[in-house]
Amino acid sequence: MTDRQGGNTATTPSGKPRAASLGLRFPGASGRLNSITDVKGVSVGYTTIVEGDGQLVVGKGPVRTGVTAILPRPLDQLCAPVMAGLFSLNGNGELTGSHFIEEVGKFSLPITITNTHSCGVARDATIRWAVKRFPEHFSDDFALPVAAETYDGFLNDINGFHVTQEHVSEAINSAASGSIEEGSVGGGTGMKCFGFKAGSGTASRIVGFDEMDYTVGTFVQANFGSRKDLRILGHSIGQRLTDPKVVQNSPDPDLSSIIVVIATDAPLLPHQLKRLARRATLGVGNTGGFARHGSGDIFIAFSTANGVSNSYAPKRLLNLTMIPDEHLDPFFEAVVQSTEEAILNSLIANSDMVGRDENFVPSIPHLEIRKLAESAR
């Protein structure tokens, strides 16, 4: 299956099906890969940690977790900030570097996403990696990297602190452009969404403006929602999907979250990127999410356009380009569409998982999704 841009987007590199392969027809024109990596210069890397089975022994496992790294620029340009904006729909979660982004509208270095109790490790390890990789830059400068989290304690020994500095470095060093894996990989390894196995997902859209084509690429770590609320392309399907059921042998606190990372090569300023980040709310809502009390729904958008000065900018005027605010509607629509599709990709490109205490989370039944797609035609 190819999208409107001619790319093969039906499966992940390992052959896992994506939403489009089940016949779902999404609005908008996707990029060649239908991925955040359609944005030139953006790359993604994972470290996936799956170890042990059986009853939970804190510190020993079972382990179902990992780290995702999203590099906003090519490796040799990572110290050059990108303009950014963020939005917290429900703040029961963490995204480090947020105060700096709110203050100056930019950040540098990789974004990392992991589990809730490893967010600090991911942040600190990113700084250690950066200081080692760019010693001249950080000899007299500081780093405030972005690290985000969602909770995987239903399947993972989250209090065992299994994510290490080496795991974070591995995710950053493995980052690559091109098609990326989805589902139970990286930080999304132990996540669930709408009562099904979920985790990492991505999608993209092409937006035309002034005879130029720009890309909006979205990546999600999806870990939210109750099954009864699931909607797919406007169809309430969750209440019909009663089987297979989650097997719960230990407490399952309502600690749901979603992290959304939006990348674009369109020349947008920080206030405009905040507006894009805010629109991810509608994509989450289209799938049935409504920002529960215990949910950390935090969204960040950045632009690779406009080279942004670092701490040592020369004392002169900077020339920046921007798309007028009055013409942002197609970009808003692209965020909504790609967020919705990325969430569904995280569900569909997945399989059953057994974790701590033999807790079981099933994958979403593909046959039911195919039936829905056929009935919607």
Query: Which residues are tagged catalytic?
Result: 257, 295, 297
CB 136 within 8 A of CB 95: no
**Alpha carbons 284 and 144: distance in angstroms, whole number:** 28
Residues 6+ apart with CB under 8 A from 129: 110, 168, 169, 172
**Alpha carbons 109 and 77: distance in angstroms, whole number:** 9
CB 184 within 8 A of CB 194: no
CB 147 within 8 A of CB 112: yes
CB 377 within 8 A of CB 27: no
Q: Tell me how many degrees the CA angle 303-307-313 measures, rounded to the nearest 5.
A: 130
H/E stretch holding 137: none
Beta pairing class for 111-115 and 147-150: parallel
CB 111 within 8 A of CB 144: no
